[in-house]
Amino acid sequence: MAKGYWVSVYPAISDLERLTAYDKLAGPAVRAGGGRTLSRGGRVVAHEAGITQRAVLIEFDSFELAVAAYESEAYQKALVALPDGVERDFRIVEGVG
């Protein structure tokens, strides 16, 4: 079974304090859904049209678990805390089987 991944890139963050509040809620929700954070805001080398801002990569044992974790009540509560001043490019992708 192919793994599932949450891939997030943050082109703009204007309220770091509120982003931290979101992180405190999102972390437990992700772990409860079986997610493992592989990268969060570490160093980035961008190529072509890439951006060097904060990037987050979270792995799940399956694509279905990744979708279920996003749709969970706990993660939806975390999303409410994500401030308007944060621009985020988020997607759930299926790994190669």
- Is the pLDDT at 97 greater than 80? The verdict is no
Task: Tell if the pTM clears 0.85, that is, is over it.
Answer: yes
Element holding 56 (H helix, E strand): strand 55-60
Q: Please count the other Cβ atoms lying within 10 Å of the Cβ belonging to residue 6.
A: 24
Number of domains in the chain: 1
CATH number, residue 47: 3.30.70.100
* Domain of residue 70, residue span: 4-94
| pLDDT computed for residue 49 by the predictor | 80
Reported confidence tier of residue 12, pLDDT bands at 50, 70, 90: confident
* Percent of the chain topping pLDDT 90: 59
- Measured in degrees and rounded to the nearest 5, phi and psi for residue 28 equal -60, -35
| pLDDT computed for residue 38 by the predictor | 96
